[in-house]
Amino acid sequence: MTKKSIAYACLSLIATCFAECSPCVGNKDIEDTISAPFIKVAETCSPAVVHIYGEAKSPSTSQQRQKGVNPYDEFFEQFFGAPPPQKRPQGSVGSGFFVSEDGYILTNYHVVQQAQTIYISRESDGVNIPAELIGFDKKSDIAVLKIDSQGEKLPYLCFADSDAIRVGQFVVAIGSPFELRNTVTTGTVSATHRNKLQLSQIDDFIQIDAAINPGNSGGPLLNLQCQVIGMNTAIFSQSGGSIGLGFAIPSKMLKMVYNQIREKGVVERGVMGVQLQELNSDLASAFKLPSKTTGVVISDVVKDSPADKAGLHPGDVIVSIDGKSVSSPEAVIAIVGQKTAGDTVVLEVLQGGKKKSYSIVLASPNAGIGSSDLSLQRFGMQVSILTPEKAYQQGMRIDDTGMVITSVTPNSKAAKAGLRQGMIIVVVNGKKIRSYEDLNDALKNPQDKGKHIFLVSYQGRASFHYIEE
């Protein structure tokens, strides 16, 4: 066959393909078959997705005038001066989705972190509905909200197993980018278990190329079975818009955090009691390991921790956890971060060059910052032990005891009770507070079930505050 005849044959084939794909002559059956799953996800899942608006604690003053909107602005300003600056309520916007028929909603914590008042609106009615912040987990950037469903059975989404997703599979994202509500975008999973992104303390993300933009935060990432596989959380962009690098929190983390907050009011992660570092070629050589060995080095073991009791030592190299290979401290933290106290993890470890297996039951966090979080996070506040320096600053005796309120979440139960950052908790439910243990015991034994009375000191004045569970 000559080059000329080959060219004619190719042109004929292209023309045939073009005719089959032409809008006028196209194969509608093929189009319907390809589009059907995406249409089903959009139609089925959109009613369960909400727009979230968080109104800031206090309005900020806008100092800038919008020139050119009114042609007489500059004329009047020459004679009467600039009008007083207008106060405009500042807030955050994002997305969320129902995870129960009685009104529980998941979103990103950063969407509501600074909000004094939170509202959600649904696609079906567009009405602003007040929402309560039930709890949050800073480490994973997840928050749980609740609205009064008033007896209505709300549409909600179910979780898929994010460990089962595969690179290349189709995904659908729904949210409110730039407040364009219930926007649907599609794409594929670009990667799984992305870490070292420094997007949250637990760095474990699904990477997607579906377009997500500011306002998508907190919205669902769905598979073609209409199940949640993640929560859209962040993008990498130089322009502020999507360039095909989006990141979502895996559904396994979402489910764990939601169940913990709904059942306990807080997230109580299990701990092994180890410190970790990267295994580089120099350390591998020092430990007499093959140069291509991958794993994570245990640099320290906390005394009497689960790891210590199991027989782990500094210098041991964790190769896998629950059958999943690990090559960075972030990978270990991500896996353990999805576990709760009492859960068991199976570690494969290189100890003196020999491979060993350890079954470790994770413990509750030791007394300290973790205990503080567990005690009072459900009320929306965190505390630390009162130091002599802080006592002196507050006009107290340097040997006075108590807990300093280090943060209070806007619109939380603590905020509504009048508790503020800097206050010193002296007595809880009639019990003087000297330690985290005192605080935990006092909260477990209120004089009236479910009702807690706090005596606090602030700038030399004492006051009582009441919080109901």
Instruction: List active site positions.
Output: 110, 141, 217
Residues in contact with 70: Cβ distance below 8 Å, sequence separation at least 6, in sequence order: none
Alpha-carbon distance values, 115 to 59, 93, 355 (Å) = 11, 10, 50
- Nearest-CA neighbor of 308 among 261, 264, 271? 271
Q: Which two tokens stand for residue 166?
A: 């595969």
Alpha-carbon distance values, 9 to 3, 26, 185, 189, 339 (Å) = 10, 22, 39, 38, 62
Amino acid at site 190: S
d(CA 130, CA 146): 9
Strands (DSSP E) contained in 166-281 are 170-175, 183-194, 205-208, 220-222, 228-235, 246-250, 274-278
* H helix intervals, 316-383: 329-336, 369-376
| Phi, psi for 129 (deg, rounded to 5) | -115, 125
Q: Which two tokens stand for residue 152?
A: 């209505």
CA angle 272, 277, 278 (to 5 degrees): 130
d(CA 136, CA 143): 4
Q: Burial level of 408, CB count in 10 A (0-12/13-18/19+)?
A: buried
- Nearest-CA neighbor of 218 among 133, 277, 332? 133
**Chain Cα centroid distance, residue 273:** 24
Helix or strand or coil: residue 118?
strand
d(CA 39, CA 184): 10
d(CA 315, CA 41): 49
Query: Tokens 């032990």, residue?
Result: 385
d(CA 49, CA 184): 11
Q: Which two tokens stand for residue 29?
A: 């059956």
Bridge pairing between strands 129-137 and 91-98: unpaired
3-state helix, strand, coil in the chain (%, to 5): 25, 35, 40
Q: Which two tokens stand for residue 330?
A: 């972030």
